[in-house]
């Protein structure tokens, strides 16, 4: 697979920012990306998506990227050591998640899949709460309404409908907020996503659909999912679509900020396709060496989101050795906290599974609880089963 990433620093004619470009054919392989930071770390401008950032904001974005990657690496290691049942790594997708996550306002609401660890970080969800679900000790561990970050959704594409319904409710409430729904390129083939597009368009709902096109739906490449760039699907539903360099944290921030403002100001839904790459396995039960070439992965390493931002910061004199050492020390401390925290998580009481089947007491559930407790007690130490 040959991937061409083409900068859009030069001005070009467009009907409106983010509007679908219908002049291209489905076979056009030179589709342009919105890019503000090249793989070499050179800052460029885009006429439709300007971005003004302070040195403090840029350093904060770098910190986000480094710490999110460290947390993800620790989680992968913990699964390999038998401490987690499964893990879905975000390696390579940090910029797409941090950029879009930092574009949200406090009142905006995010609906993730099971891989949005970087967005969770931006919404102040404790990393240990994410790991609790993968360890099997809770079903999420955080209050979605406190963080404005929904629980992880394992069913592929279902959260797009949830997000659209929530956005329809925002409109009825007259609130000045927007919603963002995350999904992958594989999920774009699910009927739930198309249904969400239909309802969002018809009701002009304030929702941004954020597709992280990481090139692979487990072992199926994007070429088996669509004949046109994914962002162009939006035009068929009547709303704007934008393709952004998903390894460029600044471009992801600028485009998502624009899309959320467009949605909350009555413009209706937007589809963002973050063109990125899944550097690791789909999950820790997957072996990507069985279906993709090493050369492809190596080519994408040159587009690494952390390396390009670091190169820019160093070239502009915005960071020094002391700052970088401080981030590294913070990264090590986070890794230690994650390892110790996961291993010390208490096992939940197995009978809790019966507590919330119904809102009110139920005779059948009470009978099943009693039967299970008697069964567990029949074993030595059965109270801990």
- pLDDT tens column, 208-236: 999 999 999 999 999 998 999 999 999 99
What is the model's pLDDT at position 353? Answer: 87
Least confident of 6-10, 125-129, 279-283, 335-339: 6-10
291 an active-site residue? yes
More confident residue, 30 or 45: 45
Going by pLDDT thresholds of 50, 70 and 90, the confidence category of residue 114 is: very high
Of these residues, 10, 105, 291, 375, which one is catalytic?
291
pLDDT tops 90 at residue 84: yes
SS3 labels along the chain:
CCCCCCCCCCCCCCCCCCCCCCCCCCCCCCCCCECCECCCCCECCCCCCCCCCCHHHHHHHHHHHHHHHHHHHHHHHHHHCCCCCCCCCCCCCHHHHHHHHHHCCCCCEEECCCCCHHHHHHCCCCHHHHHHHHHCCCCCCCCHHHHCECCCCCCCCHHHHHHHHHHHHHHHHCCCCCEEEEEECCHHHCHHHHHHHHHHHHCCCCEEEEEEECCEECCEEHHHCCCCCHHHHHHHHCCCEEEEECCCHHHHHHHHHHHHHHHHHHHCCEEEEEECCCCCCCCCCCCHHHCCCHHHHHHHHCCCHHHHHHHHHHHCCCCCHHHHHHHHHHHHHHHHHHHHHHHCCCCCCHHHHHCCCCCCCCHHHHHHHHHHHHHHHCCCCHHHC
Stated pTM of the model: 0.88
278 an active-site residue? yes
- The stretch 356-366 carries a mean pLDDT of 93
What is the rounded end-to-end Cα distance, in angstroms, of the chain?
Answer: 50
150 an active-site residue? no
Of these residues, 123, 135, 278, 308, which one is catalytic?
278
- The stretch 347-359 carries a mean pLDDT of 90
What is the model's pLDDT at position 302? Answer: 94
What is the model's pLDDT at position 188? Answer: 95
- The stretch 63-92 carries a mean pLDDT of 97
Going by pLDDT thresholds of 50, 70 and 90, the confidence category of residue 32 is: confident
- The stretch 234-247 carries a mean pLDDT of 97
Of these residues, 152, 282, 308, 312, which one is catalytic?
282
């Amino acid at each position: 697979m040959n991937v061409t990433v083409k900068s859009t620093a030069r001005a070009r004619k467009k009907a409106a920012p983010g509007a679908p470009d219908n002049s291209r054919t489905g076979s056009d392989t030179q589709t342009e990306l919105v890019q503000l930071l090249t793989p070499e770390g050179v800052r460029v401008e885009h006429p439709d998506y300007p971005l003004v950032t302070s040195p403090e904001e840029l350093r904060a974005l770098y910190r986000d990227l480094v710490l999110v990657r460290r947390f993800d690496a620790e989680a992968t290691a913990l699964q390999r050591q038998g401490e987690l049942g499964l893990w879905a790594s975000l390696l390579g997708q940090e910029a797409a998640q941090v950029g879009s996550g930092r574009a949200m306002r406090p009142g905006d609401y995010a609906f993730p899949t099971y891989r949005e660890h970087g967005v969770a970080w931006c919404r102040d969800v404790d990393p240990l709460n994410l790991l609790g679900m993968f360890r099997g000790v809770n079903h999420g561990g955080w209050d979605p309404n406190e963080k404005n970050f929904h629980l992880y959704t394992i069913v592929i594409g279902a959260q797009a409908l949830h997000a659209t319904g929530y956005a329809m409710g925002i409109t009825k409430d007259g609130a000045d907020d927007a919603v963002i729904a995350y999904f992958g390129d594989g999920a774009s083939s699910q009927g739930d996503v198309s249904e969400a597009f239909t309802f969002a368009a018809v009701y002009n709902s304030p929702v941004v659909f954020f597709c992280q096109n990481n090139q692979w739906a487990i072992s199926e490449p994007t070429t088996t999912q669509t004949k046109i760039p994914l962002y162009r699907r939006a035009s068929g539903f009547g709303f704007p679509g934008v393709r952004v360099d998903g390894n460029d944290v600044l471009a992801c921030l600028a485009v998502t900020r624009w899309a959320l403002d467009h949605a909350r100001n009555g413009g209706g839904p937007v589809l963002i396709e973050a063109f990125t790459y899944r550097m690791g396995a789909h999950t820790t039960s997957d072996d990507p060496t069985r279906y993709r070439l090493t050369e492809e992965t190596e080519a994408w390493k040159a587009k690494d989101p952390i390396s390009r931002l670091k190169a820019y910061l160093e070239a502009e004199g915005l960071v020094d050795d002391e700052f970088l050492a401080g981030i590294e020390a913070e990264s090590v401390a986070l890794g230690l906290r994650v390892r110790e925290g996961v291993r010390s998580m208490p096992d939940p009481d197995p009978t809790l599974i019966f507590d919330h089947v119904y809102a009110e007491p139920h005779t059948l559930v009470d009978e099943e609880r009693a039967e299970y407790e008697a069964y567990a007690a029949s074993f030595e130490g059965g109270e801990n089963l």
